[in-house]
Structure 1
Amino acid sequence: MNHSSIIFSGPNALKCELVPYLIELGIDRVFMILDKILLEIHADTLYPLMDLLPKEHILLIEAGEEYKHLDQCQKVWRFFTESKVNRNDVVVNVGGGVLTDLGGFCASIYKRGISTINVPTTLMGMVDAAIGGKTAVDYLGVKNLLGAFHLPIAVCGDSSFLSTLTQKELLSGFGEIVKHSLLVGGDMWQRVIQFDPLYSDSEEWQYFVDLSMKYKEAVVKEDLYDNGLRKCLNLGHTIGHALESYFINSKSSFGTDRDLVSHGEAVIAGLIAELYMSNQLLGFPSDILHQLIYLAKENYAPLLFTCKEYDPLLKLMKQDKKNISKAVSYVGMRSLGEPVLLEVDDEELKNGLDFYREMLC
């Protein structure tokens, strides 16, 4: 079985690579789920794709994290049903990671699976969320609790979309790039710690987009169903996901201009806490940990929480899908490029949270 997606990456990849691919593919009918905001800011980039479709084959939806739930899925399934979508058709999901997650999840269970193509329009989507076939929606306040594996036949990472992203969106995607650089090691880590995510052009970003897309796709090809190698991609996510879910649920704020924690911000916090645990348990090098801390201080405001909030955070960690027993699983590291899957107790997790607060807050 082919456990891979075709990867299109680069400036104008949508027009120059994806559109010719769709024409050559000869699929019966193409449908699109599109973040409605993109029509206002990227009409020129989207035109070559939209011109292939009749208007009634396009569903415009709102696609923030607050819409990543079953009510929004109902709208998508109604669109599929009314449009008589069948298993010979393909659905193109165009938007950020929330939209590709939601669109992929809806397609995965409609008529037992409709083919999809992802066109991520955020940095986070390009380097992580849109690749690998993990689709999900949030449920009962837990991030990505309902989901399915549904590999897209292709992913198009067109860096033209990066030009309109906010600093917060760029930094969110950069959090996943930092994670990938720790797993890849070598030159990628050295380039990440010297990179300025807020004052770099699309050509500089393209190096990280290309490498991250290819790295994640190679891991997924080896382990689609998360039984071994792919678990390493959860580095920083045990604590990171818990922080993200907690602050989404509580609607807490972290300053005058911030309302919700982005995924990448939470991952950076999770990386620091979890690599400290790796330092204590596996001897992960202190100098690399402190390079990460310096990177975080230069680019990210600290996530403010107290020890009184540890219990609800631990509760969320114990709901993590990686857990196979009552203990909490997390990805530790011996050094750059050397991940190890471990189980840890509450005290070790609290020590990681303590370290983050001591270093960043």
Structure 2
Amino acid sequence: MENIFFSPEALPELQEFLRSRAFSQILILVDENTRRDCYPILKKALPEHHLLQIPSGEANKTLGTSETIWQFLTEKAFDRWGVVVNLGGGVIGDMGGFCAALYKRGITFVNVPTTLLAMVDASVGGKTGIDFLGFKNQLGVFQEPRAVFIHSLFLETLPARQIKSGYAEVIKHWLIADAAAFETQRLVGFLAADWQKLIPESVEVKSKIVKADPLEKGVRKILNFGHTVGHAVESYFLTQLGRELLHGEAIAVGLVCESYLSEQKGLLSQAELSRIETFMAMVYEKVKLKPEDIAGILPYLQQDKKNRNAVINCVLLEGIGKAVYDQPVTVAEVERSLQYYQIV
């Protein structure tokens, strides 16, 4: 995993990276949470730099916030030899990378993920982007960070809810590519998770898939397992004041629904579906879906980025540990999966 550094080497490697490359200017991008909890840990490893705080949360991953970042870079006269250090979770990494990739046709950026979700998923793979008109990651580009520095110490700053959110992506990696790990962890359980071991293993799963298909023309699509339904759920709940879900909470719904779709299409056995459902129920509190919620979620399926010619293309499981992509599903089938999720 070239240019991905794990603790305890992560912070010394970041320090060496910033000091040895003679960047003209350095911007540390934070939100109010990472400025308070994570920036003090990182600061001692940094040379002279600028600090920009933006508001946290998916609701702020917008063009408006992006304009704030571009305005700051412009006012500080950043040239193409500057660097942006994204210190935060998935929102900071997605948006900071997007802004760096577009500013003056692209300047260097690196990711220092501070959430489990960002460590195992968002910071690796080169997807950057922002939400637009209520649709998740509607605008974005593929642009790899120059390096990723993963320090598990930042996990100590997180509440359990945020850890569980990131864990959904770890589970996804097991379900699409590592049946043995899923069976092991199913017995071990969430509370006994060894992050020093699980994080590098999960990153390796994603890195291998991305390396085989950087621009998501084929096999990389399997990384979207749980996300066709999950992103629709997440986008809908962002419009429901006081009911917003974290990304991983919505993906957890998607993992169950798309496992159910896999079983319905004869790809996944009933026994495997049951093992997945039982494990998910042990980790996640069920999201309560009213009939009007399901009706509100369905329109978001039409904007899924895997769709082609108005056909909803889903990633399904051909058994635990093996995913297949470009599987057409209907809105009615997704509706039934959400209804199933509610009663299972």
TM-score, normalised to structure 2's length? 0.94
Q: 1:15–1:48: 8 Å Cα contact kept in structure 2?
A: no
Residue 319 of structure 1 corresponds to: 303
Identity of aligned residues (%): 35
Equivalenced residues, count = 343
**Which of 56, 68, 77 matches 1:84?**
77
Residue 179 of structure 1 corresponds to: 172
Residue 38 of structure 2 corresponds to: 42
1 CA distance for matches of 2:33 and 2:292? 39
Residue 105 of structure 2 corresponds to: 112
Q: How does 1:1-361 map to 2 (within 5 A)?
A: 6-10=3-7, 12-50=8-46, 52-54=47-49, 57-197=50-190, 199-200=191-192, 204-251=194-241, 253=243, 260-341=244-325, 342-359=327-344
Q: CA deviation at 1:252?
A: 5.1
What letter is aligned with 1:343?
P
Q: CA deviation at 1:298?
A: 1.5
Q: CA deviation at 1:23?
A: 2.4
Q: 1:5–1:217: 8 Å Cα contact kept in structure 2?
A: no
2 CA distance for matches of 1:119 and 1:62? 17
Q: CA deviation at 1:114?
A: 1.1
What letter is aligned with 2:6?
S
2 CA distance for matches of 1:37 and 1:355? 37
Q: CA deviation at 1:228?
A: 0.6
1 CA distance for matches of 2:58 and 2:255? 22
Comparing 39-48 and 243-252, the one that deviates more: 39-48
Residues 307-334 of structure 1: CA deviation (Å, up to 9, x unaligned): 3333332210111011012121100111
The alignment partner of 2:303 has SS state of coil
Q: 2:24–2:79: 8 Å Cα contact kept in structure 1?
A: no
The alignment partner of 1:102 has SS state of helix
What letter is aligned with 1:6?
N
Q: 2:100–2:108: 8 Å Cα contact kept in structure 1?
A: yes
Q: 1:5–1:151: 8 Å Cα contact kept in structure 2?
A: no
Q: 1:15 to 1:283 in 2, by over 3 A?
A: closer
Residues 171-227 of structure 1: CA deviation (Å, up to 9, x unaligned): 000011110111122331123313433x347xx112111111122122112211110
2 CA distance for matches of 1:350 and 1:192? 30
Q: CA deviation at 1:337?
A: 2.5
2 CA distance for matches of 1:45 and 1:72? 25
Runs of 4+ in 1 over 6 A off after TM superposition: none
Q: CA deviation at 1:42?
A: 3.1
Residues 122-151 of structure 1: CA deviation (Å, up to 9, x unaligned): 000000111111111111111111111111
Q: 1:129 to 1:106 in 2, by over 3 A?
A: same
Residues 13-49 of structure 1: CA deviation (Å, up to 9, x unaligned): 4322221233233434322212232232235421233
Q: 2:225–2:314: 8 Å Cα contact kept in structure 1?
A: yes
Q: CA deviation at 1:288?
A: 2.2
What letter is aligned with 1:39?
R
Give ranges in structure 2 of 5+ residues lacking alignment. none
Q: 1:116–1:152: 8 Å Cα contact kept in structure 2?
A: yes
Q: 1:92–1:116: 8 Å Cα contact kept in structure 2?
A: yes
Q: 2:35–2:53: 8 Å Cα contact kept in structure 1?
A: no
2 CA distance for matches of 1:279 and 1:95? 37
Q: CA deviation at 1:73?
A: 0.8
Residues 151-173 of structure 1: CA deviation (Å, up to 9, x unaligned): 10111111010012101100000
2 CA distance for matches of 1:59 and 1:155? 19
Q: 2:11–2:149: 8 Å Cα contact kept in structure 1?
A: no
Give ranges in structure 1 of 5+ residues lacking alignment. 254-259
2 CA distance for matches of 1:107 and 1:49? 22
What letter is aligned with 2:118?
G
Q: RMSD in angstroms over aligned alpha carbons?
A: 1.7
